[in-house]
Amino acid sequence: MLLVVFFFFFSVQCVPINIEKSPPVPLLLLISFDGFRWDYPDLYHLPHFDQLAKRGVRLENIENSFATVTFPSHFTMITGLFEETHGIVANTIYDPTFNESVTIVGMNDTKWWSQNPWTQPIWITNQLATNSSSRRSGVISWPGCNIAINGHLPTKFQPFEPNRSFDSIVKQMFDWFHENESTRINFGVMYFPEPDETGHLHGPHSPEMAKTLAMVDSYVGQLLQMIDRDEYLRKYLNVIITSDHGMHEIDGKHQIVLEKLIDKSLYNAFGKRAFANIFVKRASDIERIYANLSTLTNYEVYKKSDIPDEYHYQFNVRIGDILIISRIGYEILLPGDDGSERRYGDHGYDNRAESMHPIFYAFGPAFRQINRAKAFRNVDLFPLMSYLLDIPIRLTNGSLENVKHILIDFPSNDFSGWFSRLIHLLTSLFGSSVIVMIFVLLSILVGCIYSVAACRHSSDSLFVENNDFAIRYRLLDDKNGSINNLIVSESEDEIVER
C-alpha cells in the first residue's frame, strides 16, 4: 500500500499543473564567447558559470579542429564540417582559383563562404526543414551571418559591430524570440568578441583577464535572470554556451622571421604567427624550401601531401604547398609583420594542445545535469543542434553518437526520467487535470486489489517452489539500440532445463 501511495504522489509531482502552450517547433540559443579557454572557470572565480554547471551540462572541454582561429572554428561549429571541407581555412586566405587573398575584414563575398554546394550553416538547415513556416533563425555578429551562403541568408541577422554591448545583443535576440507567431525565431545565434581580445593584449594569466572574465560572468548572470523571469523561455529554451578556441601565453622571445630563412620572392605566406600556409611560386622550389624549413626546431613543417590525417587539413586548394605550425608559445613573423605588435597571448596552434580547447556549457529541457561530461568535437555541435531543433541531420563530419551522453533522451536506464517523459507526453495530449484524476482512480483501484489479495492469502502457509533454471544473457552496447545491458538472448533454439 505504501508503494501505491508513493506512486500516486510521485505521479502528481511529475505533472505540471499550469502548462503554457508549447511552441510549434523547438527553441535553441547558441552563444559563443571568443577565445574562452576551457579552464578559465577553474582558474578564476566565476560564480555564474558555476551556476551553469549546476543547472545543466559542463563538458571537460571541446576538442576543436585545426586551425584554431576565429573564422574557421566558428564556421566549423555551424556547418559540422572540417576546415578542409568548408574552405574557411584561416583568418587570412589565399585562393589560387581566384588568384586572390582576403582577410576577415574583407571576407564579405559569398564566394569565400560557398566554395562547395554542400556547405550549409545550421541556421539555414533550420529554415529549410519540413515545417519551415514555423522556423526562423536570428543571427547576430557570428562570422558569415550577413553573407548569402549558397544562396541563403538567415531570416534575421545583424552583422558584427566591434563596440556593441552584450546587453544590446541579448535584448535584440529575446525580442526576436517574442515576436508574433508569424515572424518570431525559434533558433538564435550570437557571438561576443571577449575574452579573446584581452587574451591577446594581456595574456590568459593576467589581472586584466580576471577583470574581463568577471565581466563576461556577469553577462551570463544577466542572461540567466532574463530567462528565469520569462516563463516561455524558461520552459522551452535550450541554451548552448561555447567558444571557438583557447589561448596560450606568449613571452615574445621565441620568434622566427620567415624572410630571413627563405627569399620572399619564392613564395607567398598567409596566416598568423601561430601557423602559415606557404604557397611556393614554382613547383620546382617546393622540395628545397621544405628541406630548409624542416631543420627548424619547435616548428612543425609539412608538405601538403604529408599533413597528418588527424588535422583534417589537407584537401583544399586554399591550403598551401607547405604548412608551418609553431610549437605552443612560439611565433612566426611573416613578410610584412615586423613584430612591433606585441602579443601576450595567442592561438592557432595544434588543436590537440590543451590550452587551445574551449568551453562548453548547456542547459534546458533537453539536457541532463552532468558536471565535467566527456568531451566531444566541435564538428559534433551540428548534429547536436539538429537533434535539439528536431530537424533531419545532414551528412557532416560530426556524429550524434558522440553527444548522446549529455541528452536526457540518450541513453537512460533511469525509471524516473522515463516516467517523467511519459507523464509530459500524456499531459500534452489530455491535460494535467485529466491525468491527475486517472492516477487517483488507478491508485484507488490498485489499493483495493492489493487489500483483497492480502486478506485472501494472509492465512496461507508459505511455500516456495524451487524453479531455478539457467537463462543465458548477452551484453549489448549502445550501437545495438539497447537501453538495458541485460537482455535475454533472442536465440529460438535455447533449451531451458528445470
Q: Which of 401, 312, 405 is nearest to 352 (CA)?
A: 312
CA distances from 459 to 176, 453, 454, 456, 484 (A): 69, 11, 9, 7, 39
Bridge-based pairing state of the strands 248-249 and 62-63:
unpaired
Tens of pLDDT, residues 99-141 = 999 999 999 999 999 999 989 999 999 999 988 889 999 999 9
Residues whose CB falls within 8 Å of the CB of residue 32, separated by 6 or more in sequence, listed in order: 74, 77, 142, 190, 191, 192, 241, 242, 243, 244
Cα–Cα dist 453/263, whole Å:
95
Burial 346-370 (b: 16+ CB within 10 A, else e): bbbbbbeeebbbbbbbbbbebbbee
- 3 state DSSP class of 172: helix
Cα–Cα dist 259/271, whole Å:
14
Contact yes or no for 387/67 (Cβ under 8 A):
no
59 strand-pairing partners: 373
Residue 398 grid coordinates:
560530426
Expressed in percent and rounded to 5, the helix, strand and coil fractions of the chain are 40, 20, 45
Told to judge if 125 belongs to the known catalytic residues of this protein, a careful annotator would answer no
- Tell me the domains of the chain and their CATH numbers: 2-12+415-457 (no CATH), 24-249+352-398 (3.40.720.10), 267-334 (3.30.1360.180)
Which contiguous run of DSSP H or E holds residue 224?
helix 207-228
Cα–Cα dist 67/257, whole Å:
21
Cα–Cα dist 393/213, whole Å:
35
29 strand-pairing partners: 188, 239
- Sign of the CA dihedral running 142, 147, 152, 156: positive
Q: Which of 369, 373, 410, 372 is nearest to 388 (CA)?
A: 410
Catalytic residue, chosen from 68, 70, 92, 125, is 70
Residues whose CB falls within 8 Å of the CB of residue 380, separated by 6 or more in sequence, listed in order: 80, 398, 399, 400, 402, 403
Bridge-based pairing state of the strands 187-192 and 137-140:
parallel
Q: Which of 151, 61, 145 is nearest to 111 (CA)?
A: 151
Cα–Cα dist 122/383, whole Å:
9
Residues whose CB falls within 8 Å of the CB of residue 203, separated by 6 or more in sequence, listed in order: 209, 247, 249, 250, 344, 345
Quick one: pLDDT at residue 410? 80
Which residues, given as ranges, of the chain have pLDDT below 50? 1-19, 412-420, 454, 457-498
Cα–Cα dist 79/120, whole Å:
6
Residue 88: what are its φ and ψ, rounded to 5°?
-90, 85
Q: Which of 240, 254, 268, 242 is nearest to 346 (CA)?
A: 254
Cα–Cα dist 194/191, whole Å:
9
Amino acid at 64: N
pTM for this prediction: 0.79
Cα–Cα dist 357/39, whole Å:
9
Contact yes or no for 113/340 (Cβ under 8 A):
no
Contact yes or no for 383/358 (Cβ under 8 A):
no
92 strand-pairing partners: 103
Quick one: pLDDT at residue 434? 57
226 burial class (0-12, 13-18, 19+ CB within 10 angstroms)?
Answer: middle
